[in-house]
Chain A
Amino acid sequence: DQQVKQNSPSLSVQEGRISILNCDYTNSMFDYFLWYKKYPAEGPTFLISISSIKDKNEDGRFTVFLNKSAKHLSLHIVPSQPGDSAVYFCAASTTSGTYKYIFGTGTRLKVLA
């Protein structure tokens, strides 16, 4: 049972345009969410996070939006750059029970020059 889902395995965007990566979750107890970026042959790198008390968090070109009622979060990258081409994972955790992260399957973003 996949509690965190990234339904788009890949996405292509023109340089300078907006990239929107989506993530859905099923467990309403999740209250902290993160996005990671992963280049080939490297480990994931933490990008941005959001807690459930917020609906938006911004860091430079990256903004994460959280819609708790829809159990949906999205990562916006504006403007997209060729160096943003990577696999993006969302992850979720809960303060109740054993602390750990549940990861989505990832979305491969390709930014076209």
Chain B
Amino acid sequence: DGGITQSPKYLFRKEGQNVTLSCEQNLNHDAMYWYRQDPGQGLRLIYYSQIVNDFQKGDIAEGYSVSREKKESFPLTVTSAQKNPTAFYLCASSLTGGWGQPQHFGDGTRLSIL
């Protein structure tokens, strides 16, 4: 059954620590995305990757890093430089990064600061 798997569902971080959120897809999609959702706000794009070994900053990339070494995997690292990391993080993929491609989402990871 194809889809996007995000793990863990809930994550707690101490201040000053880096933490990595996992995102895996078996849809054979080229493009992958990371969004952040805060209460009362829409989804904001952190990073996206249209192809393996390539990725671009989104609107709110500061304090985050990504890698795309494999087509099916797009992990997001929340670094200690991200001053307000508490949020709901969503990973998505689309067949290509082109126009008119709906994105398929995982079920998200909720990150909280201890």
Contact = CB atoms under 8 A, between A and B. Distances in A.
Interface of A: 2, 4, 9, 32, 34, 36, 41-46, 49, 51, 89, 91, 93, 95, 98-106
Contacts, number: 54
12 contacts: A9-B40, A34-B102, A41-B9, A41-B108, A42-B108, A43-B92, A44-B43, A91-B43, A100-B58, A101-B45, A103-B44, A104-B42
Q: How large is the interface on B (under 10, 10 to 19, 20 to 34, 35 or more residues)?
A: 20 to 34
A49 B43 contact: no
B107 A105 contact: no
A46 B98 CA distance: 16
A2 B44 CA distance: 11
A42 B4 CA distance: 12
B63 interface: no
B90 A49 contact: no
B98 A99 contact: yes
Q: Which of A43, A45, A103 has the most CB of B within 10 A?
A: A43
A105 B100 contact: no
Interface of B: 4, 6, 9, 35, 40-45, 48, 56, 58, 90, 92, 97-100, 102-108
Q: Which 6 A-B pairs have the closest CB atoms?
A: A43-B105, A103-B42, A46-B102, A103-B43, A95-B99, A105-B42
